[in-house]
Amino acid sequence: MKVLSVVLCGGAGSRLWPLSREQYPKQLLPLMGESSLLQDTLKRLEGCGLEQDFEKAPALVVANEEYRFLVAEQVRAIRSSQARIALEPCGRNTAPALTVAALLCREDDPLMVVMPADHVLGDLAAFQRALRQALAHAAEGRVVTFGVVPSAPDTGFGYIRRGAPLPGGGFDIQAFVEKPDRVTAASYLSSGDYLWNSGIFVMRSSVWLAQLGARRPDMLSACEAAVAEGASDQDFIRLGATAFAACPADSIDYAVMEHLAGGAGVVVPLDAAWSDVGSWGALWEIGAKDGAGNVLRGDVLALESEDCYLRSEHRLVACVGVRDVVVVETPDAVLVAHKDHLQSVKQLVSRLKQEGRPESDAHRKIFRPWGHYDSIDAGHRFQVKRIVVDPGARLSLQMHHHRAEHWIVVSGTAKVTMGEKTLLLTENQSTYIPLGVAHRLENPGRIPLEMIEVQSGSYLGEDDIVRFEDNYGRS
């Protein structure tokens, strides 16, 4: 039985601002532990008895092109064998993403375990037990979804009404139900016949393509064209941009699942401490709490405070005498909100966008394919950055029209190309890059290169870069 993990790595997660931002969304963040949600999802089949060697087990990630290097680095960090990464040139919801994955693995026709990259499962053993039931049904040609056993009359989730029980576990799908009001949700909970819609699926690639082709041939045709027009680029599979942009946008549920009948669709109950991590309130609910009901992450001190979510990413956060609040600190923004008003965080992000605030889009620390930089100070005609270059990596050969740069090596070794000259710099050594001179920075060593860059000039924006040559395909 050949099994393929298909991880759908889309979404922005704006309700988790200021930690989740457009350029670094929630699935790439370590919200619950040391690993990111994407990495936890990729490891979800580990120890399931399906693969002899997890690190070499097949996996396919479908991600937005904008996150390609971040995704690749996170995959590399946990696997000795890179997963295949298919890049969407634009967002088209989950049904086209799954269709692209099914087309890319059509030849082997594996059982695809389709998982969003931004969910949390607290009980992996329970998930793996449910997965074995789902795989058995999927091997017989059914499309399987997981229905989370509800713990409350939640109005934020869609529901699945289960039908007749099936041999080996699971139920026929009787109906999909939109998000209910509070009274209706309470009736669903008391009946015991309804499950939360998890968005996790299992099916053969050929079965999905047949079901989609019968209902949305326009979507299937567009995805086939996008795959046919695509090309491999370094570690990535790039889809044809024009064909994929012409693809209709729709979810897996709307495109196929809601139309399955006659035993073609199966729901397997899942009681595995599941969360879609849709808000700071959800993180408080699933987090480890102290005796006062507080979830504390980072350098946090709480006195006479109860039922709070307090998180520090950069400096001490101290709270006294507060209750039912969320405080999230990052180097460039702090969120303070009552738990009853967390649904308004998304509106706050929209307002930041309308006002052109950079905090809506990116963190102070910016990740690049070669490493990262952190803008630690800025003023009139100057900016200071802390730059870290990964071993063996190098920046593009580039030039600036409006700024000069001073580079000071803090640790590691820097290979600097400046015009026709090349030099090596080590700890405590420095150099100066005049305005208008072509230059490149490389790390030829085996440890990260850390340096301080001081920029000076009339314009210091990131768009003042003319690239002559780049290892990462950036223009």
CATH number of the domain where residue 463 is located:
2.60.120.10
pLDDT at 82 (0 to 100): 62
pLDDT at 49 (0 to 100): 63
> Would the pTM of this model clear 0.95, i.e. be above it?
no
403 located within any domain: yes
336 located within any domain: yes
pLDDT at 54 (0 to 100): 45
For the cut 90, the answer to whether the pLDDT of residue 459 exceeds it is yes
pLDDT at 219 (0 to 100): 97
Instruction: State mean pLDDT over 391-414.
Output: 96
- pLDDT band for position 260 (50/70/90)? confident
- Range of weakest confidence among 99-108, 261-270, 293-302: 261-270
pLDDT at 233 (0 to 100): 80
pLDDT at 437 (0 to 100): 96
Q: Strand, helix or coil at 248?
A: coil
pLDDT at 12 (0 to 100): 78
Instruction: State mean pLDDT over 214-220.
Output: 96
Instruction: State mean pLDDT over 72-88.
Output: 83
pLDDT at 80 (0 to 100): 52
For the cut 70, the answer to whether the pLDDT of residue 312 exceeds it is yes
Looking at the structure, tell me whether residues 235 and 146 fall in a common domain. yes
Looking at the structure, tell me whether residues 259 and 405 fall in a common domain. no
Average model confidence (pLDDT) for the chain? 93
Looking at the structure, tell me whether residues 303 and 169 fall in a common domain. no
Contact (Cβ atoms closer than 8 angstroms) between residue 62 and residue 86: yes
- Six token digits for residue 432: 């100066």
Looking at the structure, tell me whether residues 97 and 194 fall in a common domain. yes
Q: CB neighbours of 463 closer than 8 A, spacing ≥ 6? A: none
Residue numbers of the domain that contains 219: 3-275
The better pLDDT of the pair 222, 53 is held by 222
Looking at the structure, tell me whether residues 81 and 143 fall in a common domain. yes
Looking at the structure, tell me whether residues 343 and 369 fall in a common domain. no
For the cut 60, the answer to whether the pLDDT of residue 51 exceeds it is no
Pairing outcome for strands 143-148 and 194-204:
antiparallel
For the cut 50, the answer to whether the pLDDT of residue 405 exceeds it is yes
266 located within any domain: yes
Say how many Å lie between the first and final Cα of the chain, rounded.
43
Looking at the structure, tell me whether residues 339 and 465 fall in a common domain. no
Number of compact structural domains in the chain: 3
pLDDT at 58 (0 to 100): 74
